[in-house]
Chain A
Amino acid sequence: MEKTARIDFRENARNASPAVVAATQKNTGTALKKRAAVVAEFGEARWQELRKAGHEIRLHALTHLDRYLAMVEEKVIAAGGHVHWARDAEEARKIVLKLAAEHGVQSIVKVKSMVSEEIDLNPALEARGIRAYETDLGEFIVQLAGQRPSHITSPALHMTKEEVAALFCQKLGIDACPIPEELTEHARLRLRPEFLAAGMGISGGNFLVAETGTLVIVTNEGNGRLATSLPPVHVAVVGIEKVIPDWESAAVMLKLLARSVSGSKITAYNTFITGVREGGPKEFHLVLLDNGRSRILADKVAREALLCIRCGACMNTCPIYNQVGGYAYGAVYQGPIGSMLTPLLMGTKLAGGLPFASTLCGACAELCPVMIPIPEILLHLRKRFVEGDSFETPSVPGALKAMAKMGRIVLGSPALYRLGARLGRIFQSPLRSGDWLPSLPPPLNRWTMARPFPAFQGDFRGWWKNRQAAVKPMEGKTHG
């Protein structure tokens, strides 16, 4: 998330490949159907209760985060682990690189982690001559393709099996058929020796249970287990917001997560690691990453974005994400969660367009397993972008702000509104063609570039008066 160029969502969306969009829609549709079935089986009323519990747990953890972080640290150290604190991406990378150098690590196996993407860890490792193997199948595919994940839980969601087969033929030098089972077997054969030879395993973490300092990793493929048990050193880079208070909370969160991510009751593997164990890696290092999270926490409206458990359900249901695919968001986190997190982490100067990449339909909030009020936060971020606040300076030109202010005055006064409506009808005459205004001057031409604008037909009050006059005789007939 260390981009310095402004994210142009509109331009990215325009360039979205139709094939990517089609593959995205096919895959998100399947994910939504599976989720709906498993939630129906759980029972709608119980599911809503579970969501409420999840919301309360995450909110409680965030509002007492300093205490729970200190608790995690104490428990991990007591269990023989090491705890590192990273204020930003650079510090996190330095910690990992230092550990790799100290242990003479030449190759690393990695478990899918959005935080690792956020801190741009792989390029830093490669620059030091350390091979980093992404081992989640989807991540392995996008790594081979030199891309980034287009979805937080299904990184290669945008690719067809034919594209994956062609990629394997080109990059692995094998004869690969476009059959998912065969492609998966190729990945298994390619990666198994790397698990056995790696000097370090790097993971993220789905949760940190403060009660015992336990790292929880949720996977389906088994790569998470291999990468955190076979190499002699395990490094987990985890955002500070991932803390949950206790094991009762863990039970709730796991039920919510699996159903929301994959439409299954539970994932194939749930791994629980507390410090160092006999027979496991000799060292366990936990890197606690802030990278803007404490700043988000200070904003009472936006802080609920930190409740997110990275299930991806909001993306699957989002009409915008489904029309443009993940790459249009131009950052690590996409869809509705990306539209909140990216500007919060990078600032609205660079990512201020993303909160506008939403219809505010609320479908995301309805599905969110921890009940994040996504539309409210997006509106809050739009306001931040336009007006500025204690966190951001305004990003909108003064002229537009003056126009908005004038609009507020005119619409707030009946007399001025009536006058405006009359003037509008007069001023539109040169632009009018029948019932439409085919083109408008800038900045309103951004609308008419795509479609004509309907002409002002009259003022609303006049229309309402005429309508009432027309309705009254009808009402008399109905009741007579």
Chain B
Amino acid sequence: MGNTPSSRELILADVAGAVAAHAGAPLQPLPAAARFEPRKAEVLDKEIERMLGEVKRVSGHGRRVHGREEFAAALKQIIGDEGIRTASLSDHPLHSHYGTEALLKGLKIEIVSLGNDARNLADCDLGITVADAALPETGTVLLRTTQGQPDALSLLPRVHLALITPAAFQADLHQVFALAKGDRHFELVTGCSRTADIEKVLTLGVHGPKSYHLWICD
């Protein structure tokens, strides 16, 4: 019984047998043709413009926000436009800088605590995250999952607002992966939840947020 090979051993032996030419040899590096030159960044203003264009293209709402006053005004506007009553936000220094929680409370918004159970966010109207990187080529943001910014915050609430600073802009996926590849979990988010499964008609908000906003905070 003890000598019966396991499925692992059998599969690896079958695979090794199938690629016998390489068995026993050191693992070869990838050939040069397997590498693709990453995109190069343009000047920041152009990158920001491109980012906002791409966010619009995926049916999101993007804007630049200059300073605390403009941030407060933008927050008031999104609360009204989206009919927000409850909100939750990540534990991030950018929120301390803008006083996001105090501003929300001032607008009579109930703050939903992140707590230990992501299910708390299921009925929350607005989730506010701070992105760790932005990819202008596709209008994508990188969200690294932490206790202070759980995955559910950008997923369960009806509206997702992502904040990003220009310093976090990256040229291509290669740089983003170099940043996050050591993480246990991260997400690349581009717009809101969508599908075209019925007659290829684009429909927003299948399982995740129905509306997506990105603010570039100078």
Contact = CB atoms under 8 A, between A and B. Distances in A.
Contacts of B41: none
A251 B36 contact: yes
B198 A137 contact: yes
A459 B187 CA distance: 68
Given A155-B197, A247-B178, A268-B193, A277 B145 contact: yes
A66 B13 CA distance: 8
A21 B33 CA distance: 40
A141 interface: yes
A421 interface: no
Nearest to A185: B205
Q: Which of B14, B34, B187 has the most CB of A within 10 A?
A: B34
Contacts of A67: 22, 27
Interface stretch (A10-18, A24-32, A345-353, A466-474): A24-32
Contacts of A180: 198-199, 201, 203
A188 B35 CA distance: 40
Interface stretch (B3-11, B124-132, B161-169): B3-11
A436 to B, nearest CB: 44
Given A62-B19, A87-B11, A271 B198 contact: no
A437 interface: no
A222 B207 contact: yes
Nearest to B33: A56
B200 interface: yes
A295 B15 CA distance: 8
Contact of B185 (A135, A223, A280): A280
Q: Which of A214, A269, A290 has the most CB of B within 10 A?
A: A269
Interface in B37-59: 38, 54, 58
B2 to A, nearest CB: 18
Contacts of B209: 222
B150 to A, nearest CB: 5
A265 to B, nearest CB: 4
A67 B81 CA distance: 54
A458 to B, nearest CB: 52
A324 B119 CA distance: 44
Contact of A56 (B27, B31, B181): B31
A214 B23 contact: no
Contacts of A269: 187-190, 193, 208
B193 A250 contact: no
A221 B11 contact: no
Given A268-B191, A272-B180, A195 B11 contact: no
- Give 9 nearest A-B pairs by CB, closest first: A222-B208, A294-B14, A56-B34, A277-B184, A138-B197, A297-B18, A298-B18, A222-B193, A221-B206
Interface of A: 23, 26-27, 30-31, 49-50, 52-53, 56-57, 60, 62-67, 69-70, 73, 79, 85-87, 91, 135-138, 141, 154-156, 159-161, 164, 180-181, 183-185, 187-188, 191-192, 195-196, 209, 211-212, 214, 220-223, 225-226, 229-230, 240, 245-252, 254-255, 262, 264-280, 288, 290, 294-295, 297-298, 303
27 contacts: A27-B199, A30-B200, A31-B200, A50-B36, A60-B28, A69-B12, A135-B207, A155-B197, A161-B198, A181-B203, A184-B203, A191-B207, A214-B181, A222-B193, A222-B207, A225-B151, A225-B155, A229-B151, A251-B38, A269-B188, A272-B180, A272-B185, A272-B187, A274-B184, A277-B185, A279-B150, A280-B184
